[in-house]
A and B are shown apart, each in its own frame.
Chain A
Amino acid sequence: MRADPWSLGVAAVVAVFALATLLFWIPADIESGVVETFRRRVIIGDALAPTVVALAMLAVAGLFAASELVRPRRESAPFDRQSALFIVRVAAAIGAGLALMVYTGPLTVDAINALGGEIGSYRQLRDTVPYKYLGYLAGGAVMVGGIVAAVEQRLARSAAVAAVLAVLVHIVLYDLPFDDVLLPPNGDQ
């Protein structure tokens, strides 16, 4: 029985990522070390937590590869064209959803202003109904509906309705009861 090349590939990718994190990312991005002396005090540096996580990832990747080489699994799911298409579809649904979430509100406001509406900028309206819901509703519905469609492998009207309802429930639960909460993307506007 041969080791599954896909399993070994996953282990290799995780190991390379962990090594890159340890050798390049952490030194370049985090100013303090793992443990260091700062103004007469020994302190835990910011690099400790990501270093521990990267080492753990490296260890898990090594164990995964070793177990695959020593005792390969008899049945492994094939990675075929359909698997790749599924990943692409889910990624597309998430990407399109995020893009719509970020841009629907600002573009709508820009369009209204261009038509002479003079309603102000989206930043000024980011807590005003209905503008504040446009991006979340459009993006969220496309994201949820797109993922459901990818799983079901068809675009059903019921899935679209369920997606819109799911996002509306989110809005009712997370926005309406709270005065000081901004739904995405409004907190970053």
Chain B
Amino acid sequence: MSDPLEKEDMKMTFKPLRIPAAAAAATVALAIAATPSAAEWKPGGPINLMIAFRAGGGADTQARLMATSLEKTRGWKIIPQNVTGKGGAVMARKLKTQPNDGLTIGIAVTETFGYNILAAKKPGYAVGDFTYITTTAGSQMGVVAKASRGWKSIHDLVKAAKGGAKVKFGAMSSRLADLAYVVQQKFGIELNTVMFKGGRGVLNAITAGDVDAGWVAGIQGKGVRAGDLVNLMSGESARLKVSPDAPTMIELGIPYDAGAKFLIVAPKGIPADARKGLADAIAAILNDKSTKAAQFVTRAFGGPLLISGAALDKLVADGIANSKQLMEATQ
């Protein structure tokens, strides 16, 4: 359609403006700086963010703060929605049916797209049903106990178990229960593994004395710093930032990484510019220390962990291979 203003403009005559060259150059520079580059992707409408975690937990808080930061810094509209259940499977099943236009994304953990697919009889989704956008943070997975128990390291727990104490151990996923079983096998002890909903559930049980120790993915940091809790062992491939003295499982001869990474995913086949645009936007807010999202991720998970593109595809593929190995070892 023709613009009706065009004809009006043609009739008008303008007096030439004299603008100093420096001012003109500055104006052009400002205009360029203020205009998004042509390659920058912008969503065509509001983005639904499906959160595979219960409202109020650390992962949910991270997701909602990221949404707020994206809205503030990019002007995007993000609508968070908790779609919980089955370790992220409920969210994954719903997400894979959504249009692949970048307007629906989800947040879960790497476990959802690895171990959980292999462990379920009918997962209802496959690794190939998604485009993986970026990781946001890694867990700070540790075996945690109350400081008042007097255990300083995993060896104290093992000593207590070998001395006849019945050790109740909390876990929040089947994979972590398997890894607790690997710990049992390694040290020749028996743990009574109790399942909880989320790391918050395990931490609450530890604090209340319902279990003696258990896996917690990062929210124990505040309690550890305050001296109320102790990380007995790091479940990550590296030592925990808040407890550098606690050995890793790998250092103790257990060749697994219990850590999880938070992962933003979209339905399979979203446009490459949308994949990159989303990853770049999330990286920008998590690398900007002034955003609440970055501050929370640093406080709860030791800082952002951003893996995207081909490296992320490899991470997901490796997760499947490692999960197969773990499941075979814990049959």
* Residue tally, chain A, CB below 8 Å to B: 19
CB of B80 within 8 A of chain A? yes
Q: A-B pairs with CB below 8 Å: how many?
A: 42
A28 and B122 alpha carbons, distance in the complex (Å): 12
A187 and B94 alpha carbons, distance in the complex (Å): 12
CB within 8 Å for A123 and B99 given contacts A41-B193, A116-B1, A182-B79: yes
Are the CB atoms of A124 and B45 closer together than 8 Å?
yes
Give the residue of A32, A43, A123 whose beta carbon is less than 8 angstroms from that of B45.
A123
CB of A79 within 8 A of chain B? no
Are the CB atoms of A39 and B119 closer together than 8 Å?
yes
Are the CB atoms of A180 and B79 closer together than 8 Å?
yes
A43 and B177 alpha carbons, distance in the complex (Å): 13
A31 and B121 alpha carbons, distance in the complex (Å): 7
Query: Cβ of B44: which chain A residues have Cβ within 8 Å of it?
Result: 120-121, 124
Query: Cβ of A40: which chain B residues have Cβ within 8 Å of it?
Result: 177, 181, 330
Name which of B46, B193, B330 has the most chain A CB atoms within 10 A of its CB.
B46
Query: Cβ of B122: which chain A residues have Cβ within 8 Å of it?
Result: 31
Are the CB atoms of B101 and A123 closer together than 8 Å?
yes
> B85 — nearest CB in chain A belongs to which residue?
A46
CB distance from A37 to the nearest CB of B (A): 12
A33 and B307 alpha carbons, distance in the complex (Å): 38
CB distance from B77 to the nearest CB of A (A): 6
Query: Cβ of A121: which chain B residues have Cβ within 8 Å of it?
Result: 44-45
CB of A127 within 8 A of chain B? yes
Give the residue of B1, B48, B79, B103 whose beta carbon is less than 8 angstroms from that of A124.
B103
* Residue tally, chain B, CB below 8 Å to A: 23
Query: Cβ of B193: which chain A residues have Cβ within 8 Å of it?
Result: 41
CB of B19 within 8 A of chain A? no
> A182 — nearest CB in chain B belongs to which residue?
B79
CB of A38 within 8 A of chain B? yes
CB distance from B82 to the nearest CB of A (A): 11
Name which of B79, B121, B181 has the most chain A CB atoms within 10 A of its CB.
B79
CB of A125 within 8 A of chain B? yes
A182 and B79 alpha carbons, distance in the complex (Å): 8
- Cβ proximity bits B80-105 to A, threshold 8 Å, 1 near / 0 not: 11000000000000000001010100
A39 and B120 alpha carbons, distance in the complex (Å): 11
Are the CB atoms of A31 and B46 closer together than 8 Å?
no
| Residues of chain B having any CB pair with chain A under 8 Å | 1, 44-46, 48, 77, 79-81, 99, 101, 103, 119-122, 174, 177-178, 181, 193, 195, 330
Inter-chain pairs besides A31-B121, A120-B45, 7 sampled, C-beta below 8 Å: A40-B181, A41-B193, A41-B195, A127-B45, A127-B46, A180-B80, A187-B81
